[in-house]
Amino acid sequence: MVVWPRDLCYVRYWRRNDDGSYVVLFRSTEHPNCGPQPGFARASIESGGFKITPLKPVNGRPRTQVQHLMQIDLKGWGVNYVTSFQYHSVLQMLNCVAGLREYFSQNDDVHTIPRIPVMNTMASVPTVRKDQKHQKADSKTKQADSANENSDMIDDESEDDDDFQAPESSLEEDGNVDSDAKGSDPIDLSCFSGIIRQDANEKSRNSWSVPDSNIFKVRSKNFSHDKSKVSAGKYLMELVAADWFKDTKRMDHVAKRKGCAAQVAAEKGMFSFVVNIQIPGSTHHSLILYFVTKSLKKGSLLQRFADGDDDFRNSRLKLIPSVPKGSWIVRQSVGSTPCLLGKAVDCSYIRGPEYIEVDVDIGSSAVANGVLGLVFGVVTSLVVDMAFLIQANTYDELPEQLIGAARFSHIEPSAA
């Protein structure tokens, strides 16, 4: 039996983690200039890639661990019947890493590895958009980064550090944390409701809870001097509800919906921070988080964000993601590196009388959309954390404080 060879069309993106490791990820895509070759069958990479981790040196020699994991559908009717072809395909993937140790042991000198050639015509094709007003911004900054810019999506913390304005004065010790939100009286949660129910049991399905804030690291008061980070401490706002909507079109400005948590909070004189994560597809989904506080402190960083312009908001709103429960591929794809949302995807801001809504268009970035495609396919088996904060860029704004965080467990797309 003759089996046709396979070809691929895929996007590649990478990031550097805080521990110095690199993650390189692949996912199949479609492109008009990369159709199947004659005589080939088009295979599909569901997910996978490499993790390159530095190890402790031995006898002064540097060491690196390379992990390779790939989930690929070879397609074609003959694959399940020709065991030799399956064996050959697995062997080809193993050969990608099997000889690395021997190769580098024979080549102690530093070599420049040639860059992988990229089709220029492919790098310039924008992501298909659902809203025409975003096309201009998308063409400037949110391409697949399929050339070699690669990782603007997952904003490396070292890049964010460049925005920090260190003070000229000497190190000061300040034990007082000036909270952005006023009042510490608990909020009555009984008046709030959403489609996703609250349940602290991570094994439950279609539920949300509030993770321990101390699992997240933020910039300390001394960050300008030693780049240190500390556990986040108390949240500025309280997560009161979460909604999970679907529609035939993208859903904008959800906080104006009558009866939603933001409207209930406004009726009680409280302020809401609403995050609307817009997930594109044949059916559009929106995951909405409602954070509430009794009032904002005038002149605080959070108040400046709420009343500032979009440039300020884009440069400050930060997401810290995490996947406490999920496969290796998903955890490596999502990572836990803080990301400035306004640099990664298109964000729209709606300032209401008693709320600020952030509409996060995941479809505006090919990289973000690729990660989402991987996560969304297995979301029913995942536990996902998302924490939000306003980045501190000056000494007076330190230490950073989390606006709030949410943990979602085993979300069912059909439950929207």
Question: Which of the pair, 41 or 321, is modelled with greater confidence?
Answer: 321
Strand bridging mode 22-28 / 10-16: antiparallel
Question: Which of the pair, 329 or 296, is modelled with greater confidence?
Answer: 296
Q: Quote the pLDDT of residue 308.
A: 96
pLDDT tens string 209-266: 999 999 999 999 999 899 999 999 999 999 999 999 999 999 999 999 999 999 999 9
pLDDT confidence bin for 296, thresholds 50/70/90: very high
Question: Rounded mean pLDDT of 105-117?
Answer: 57
pLDDT confidence bin for 166, thresholds 50/70/90: low
Q: What is the mean pLDDT of the chain?
A: 81
Q: Is the pLDDT of residue 132 over 60?
A: no
User: To which residue do tokens 């300020």 refer?
Assistant: 312
Q: Quote the pLDDT of residue 330.
A: 85
* Contact between 371 and 364 (Cβ < 8 Å): no
Q: Quote the pLDDT of residue 92.
A: 75
* Contact between 36 and 42 (Cβ < 8 Å): yes
Question: Rounded mean pLDDT of 372-387?
Answer: 87
Q: Quote the pLDDT of residue 36.
A: 86
Question: Rounded mean pLDDT of 12-19?
Answer: 79
Question: Which of the pair, 95 or 132, is modelled with greater confidence?
Answer: 95
Q: Is the pLDDT of residue 156 over 90?
A: no
Question: Rounded mean pLDDT of 159-166?
Answer: 56
Question: Rounded mean pLDDT of 362-377?
Answer: 81
pLDDT confidence bin for 107, thresholds 50/70/90: low
Give dist(CA 96, CA 166) in Å, integer. Answer: 45
Question: Rounded mean pLDDT of 141-166?
Answer: 44
Q: Quote the pLDDT of residue 382.
A: 94
What SS3 string covers the chain?
A: CCCCCEECCEEEEEEECCCCCEEEEEEECCCCCCCCCCCCEECEEEEEEEEEEEEEEECCEEEEEEEEEEEEECCCCCCCCCHHHHHHHHHHHHHHHHCHHHHHHHCCCCCCCCCCCCCHHHHCCCCCCCCHHHHHHHHHHCCCCCCCCCCCCCCCHHHHHCCCECCCCCCCCCCCCCCCEECCCCCCHHHCCCCEEECCCCCCCCEEECCCHHHCEEECCCHHHHCCEEECCCCCCEEEEEEEEEECCCCCCHHHCCCCHHHHHHHCCCEEEEEEEEECCCCEEEEEEEEEECEECCCCHHHHHHHCCHHHHHCCEEEEEEEEECCHHHHHHHCCCCEEHHHHCEEEEEEECCEEEEEEEHHHCHHHHHHHHHHHHCHHHCEEEEEEEECCCEHHHCCCCEEEEEEEECCCHHHC
Q: Is the pLDDT of residue 175 over 80?
A: no
Q: Quote the pLDDT of residue 137.
A: 42
Q: Quote the pLDDT of residue 278.
A: 97
Which of the listed ranges 16-20, 21-25, 299-303, 334-338 does the model predict with the highest average pLDDT? 299-303
Question: Hey, which CATH number is domain 6-114, 3.40.50.300, 3.30.530.20, 3.40.1180.10, 3.90.550.10?
Answer: 3.30.530.20
Question: Rounded mean pLDDT of 47-70?
Answer: 86
Q: Quote the pLDDT of residue 2.
A: 64
Q: Quote the pLDDT of residue 259.
A: 95
Domain boundaries, the chain: 6-114, 157-166+187-415
For the ranges 6-20, 112-126, 306-320, the lowest mean pLDDT is seen at: 112-126
Reported pTM: 0.72
Question: Rounded mean pLDDT of 290-311?
Answer: 96
